[in-house]
Structure 1
């Protein structure tokens, strides 16, 4: 096992959670680099990217007991997780921002692109009235986790839905402060930032992967849910990681093993049109969330939370490169994991 204590990645994660928790977090993840070439006291954008992804992975496991149990089994067996991608959902209004945030994926493009990500492909999700954008890292695309950022188009729904969406999401704040924006700008222009500046920026940027809007009214939540389970999910969970994905050698075998353990695995494996990408997932763990009732009082309801996914990627026959693509039909099937039973 690599000793990560002396790396910039470890120092960033230690600054978030302390040395012991940082080592536990980093010990879960495969392909972490021992060095990215940044000078002493500096963090490269790859260091920052890995630290951010490790923290987001750890956050999801805290919220998803089923995924946490699976990962614990893997670690106990002496294995590490090949973190393939994380996914999050955003809202796009036809002619306005999302409260104080940029609309849709633009709220995260401004974070990901300075760190070396670019949109590699766009995936229409017409049944969901959404679009998926795959952000792939330019520096080490096969190992650095991708981001699958989806965007729900409010303009494709009726007026009642649009009005409820505005009431829910217009209260969104912008989580990025001037210091975080300055650090991202420096990563974009210079590629490295002093660790002393990178750590507070990392803390701030991680808050972007959460709920930025106020507690929704129950009536508005139910209006959204009637037409889009995905919009209702964003209303309670915001821009949290919807799922993280473990790249495994044989997703069918993993699914069978998890089913035998009694874990809530999807009934079928989704297979891409080219046959090279196969995916399945646990069903979302339920969470308790508060809403405002008609009298303004808080009422608690059980709703779907986040989940843990599995993917097998084959190599392209001619180039022999790993097929890093996604598939619209696969994604649509996986989205059903956050629909309430």
Structure 2
């Protein structure tokens, strides 16, 4: 069995692993890697596959799309996006630091920093050093609570201030070994993968409904983090022509974003299926638990033009992001904000 099959089967089960290996467009040397040691690029690919599967479990329309589209061609997983909070968050490092410590040992580096000033956020794109076009990027955004009024900052501190750190001491040591050697023994990689995947989740306790309403009124994005934590906000399929793709999906009755976002250079174009609606718990003033329907994650599409001569491992694709595009796409999780805040 290949490394990818062993790693993903151990974390997801053989059925989901086999399905992912069949539907994703995976670089051949990543797909066939074998032996006693797992290269960092293969472990990175395995993590992206696990997180892609978990996103599909949260987004029914994404599951439907993948099931239909996989009958036509393999899917290219372009990037996953997640959100963080730039403040003291208990045992969990604040902001992007919680994920830089994971992504950098896996072989990722910051490829771009994107001010998201309208949202009082900053985005960072992490691209893989070994195979930047073949292994999904991570777009990690952090919201800056210190740019909001004091009552919002206090509510954010109550929500996020007691977050747990899902990385064990052993996992941190394994990441250190991976950073220095660029590979891990297969048994260590198998043990590490589910721990890394567990970092992409909500690490703080169930929020108080009053605090959620406070942060939501100030920022749909902070409200989203309050319920979803560091789960994938979206996963993105790279397609040849996103404008034509979006029109086709509308005809197939997918609930699409109305506008396609186009970068300032015109070389990166993005749109998405509207966010899933999910049930999440909150603590009421009397200490009881109540549930509300809130925006969850969504499935996105992107087209990237060739903008540079190809290198030895590159086709010259424009792998950059665009601040305006990102802020437009982020509105997908604000679509249900109208009406009583507690119902959002």
Do Structure 1 and Structure 2 share a fold, with TM-score over 0.5? yes
Displacement of 1:50 in angstroms is 0.6
Displacement of 1:317 in angstroms is 5.3
Task: Determine if the alignment matches structure 1 residue 127 to structure 2 residue 118.
Answer: yes
The aligned counterpart of 2:44 is 49
RMSD: 1.4
CA distance, structure 2, for counterparts of residue 100 and residue 25 of structure 1? 34
The aligned counterpart of 1:171 is 162
Aligned length: 332
The aligned counterpart of 2:334 is 339
CA distance, structure 2, for counterparts of residue 121 and residue 312 of structure 1? 18
- Secondary structure of 1:76's aligned partner: coil
In the alignment, which of 293, 296, 299 is matched to residue 302 of structure 1?
293
- Secondary structure of 2:115's aligned partner: strand
In the alignment, which of 271, 292, 297 is matched to residue 283 of structure 2?
292
Task: State how 1:33-182 maps to structure 2 within 5 Å.
Answer: 33-35=28-30, 40-77=35-72, 79-93=73-87, 97-182=88-173
Flag structure 1 segments of 5+ consecutive residues without an equivalent: 1-5
- Secondary structure of 1:244's aligned partner: strand
Task: State how 1:178-217 maps to structure 2 within 5 Å.
Answer: 178-217=169-208
Task: State how 1:223-238 maps to structure 2 within 5 Å.
Answer: 223-238=214-229
Q: 1:197/1:44 Cα in 2 relative to 1: closer, same or farther (>3 Å)?
A: same
- Secondary structure of 1:324's aligned partner: coil
The aligned counterpart of 1:25 is 20
- Secondary structure of 1:309's aligned partner: strand
Residue range with higher mean Cα deviation, 182-191 or 104-113: 182-191
The aligned counterpart of 1:3 is none
CA distance, structure 2, for counterparts of residue 51 and residue 86 of structure 1? 13
Q: 1:12/1:257 Cα in 2 relative to 1: closer, same or farther (>3 Å)?
A: same
**TM-score normalized by the length of structure 1:** 0.95
Task: Determine if the alignment matches structure 1 residue 255 to structure 2 residue 243.
Answer: no
1:65-115 deviation line (CA, Å, top 9, x unaligned): 0111111011123x111000000000002xxx3111111000000000001
Flag structure 2 segments of 5+ consecutive residues without an equivalent: 337-344
1:194-237 deviation line (CA, Å, top 9, x unaligned): 11111121111111000000000000000000000000000000
**TM-score normalized by the length of structure 2:** 0.94
Task: Determine if the alignment matches structure 1 residue 266 to structure 2 residue 260.
Answer: no
Task: State how 1:298-337 maps to structure 2 within 5 Å.
Answer: 298-316=289-307, 321-337=316-332
CA distance, structure 2, for counterparts of residue 21 and residue 121 of structure 1? 33
Kept in 1: contact 2:12–2:50 (CA 8 A):
no
